Amino acid sequence: MQSLAIATGAHPIEPSAFRNLPPSRGPRPAPQDVLRGLQPIAVVTPCEAGHAIFREGDPATHWYQVATGALRSCKLLADGRRQIGEFLLPGDVFGFEVGDAHTLDVEALGHASVTRFSRGRIRLLLETRPELAARLPQLAFETTARAHARLLVLARQTAQERVVGFVLEMARRLAVGGSDFVLPMNRNDIADYLCLTIETVCRVIADLKRDGLIQATSAQHIAILDRAALERLAVA
């Protein structure tokens, strides 16, 4: 797969598009006033399914925010297995690194677009906008909050608890004003995210359907029928 910078073009994002960027539905919304302050250096880049925004080892020259679509961060383990670190949805910020290189791959799950912020240009901007410098760490805090939420999911001991926790997480992030949502990832992705086999994920989802807790009209379209029961299962 080509990297995003090679595979697609880029153009400056329009101010109106930046103002209307949806907030994150993850554990902690990205500070929108900080992101608006970075608008002068923002560049939006489209990408197709499977394209990499960056690969492990690539220079960490930018920070990013998902504008549209969905992404996954992942790492190929020594034994050939893939581990998905997180799913990134519109409004989520990512790409923060302690060192000078990225430690994971980030790929588009389908057609998507990301907003890029050059780290070098951020430093120059902060010289004239000190009020942004004081609030910039909040962007990194959002990434930490998402990692914490993922640890809570994986800390659940049974496969059922993990899958139910995932369904509830996606409902919080994707179901706008209701209980129906469409997953942007497939069952293989879910299995690699939860450290389970695809057979186990499919079995647990089938059990939840049989018990009347969810409805799944397709592999990716889910409706929650009994949220209270799911929440009890998630902490059983």
Q: What is the pLDDT of residue 90?
A: 93
| Helix boundaries (H) for the chain | 4-7, 15-19, 32-37, 119-128, 130-135, 137-154, 159-174, 187-194, 198-210, 227-234
* Final residue before a domain boundary, out of 98, 122, 151: 151
Does residue 186 share a domain with residue 139? no
Low-confidence ranges of the chain (pLDDT < 50): 1-29
Domain shared by 56 and 18, yes or no: yes
pLDDT (0 to 100) of residue 31? 65
CATH number for the domain spanning 38: value is: 2.60.120.10
- Domain range spanning residue 78? 4-151
- Which pTM value belongs to this model? 0.80
CA–CA distance, 204 with 207 (Å, rounded to integer)? 5
Q: What is the pLDDT of residue 39?
A: 85
Separation CA 118–CA 122 (nearest Å): 6
Residue with the two structure tokens 């089938």: 206
Query: How many residues are recorded in the chain?
Result: 236
Same domain, 161 and 142: no
User: What pLDDT is attached to residue 19?
Assistant: 37
pLDDT of amino acid 22: 40
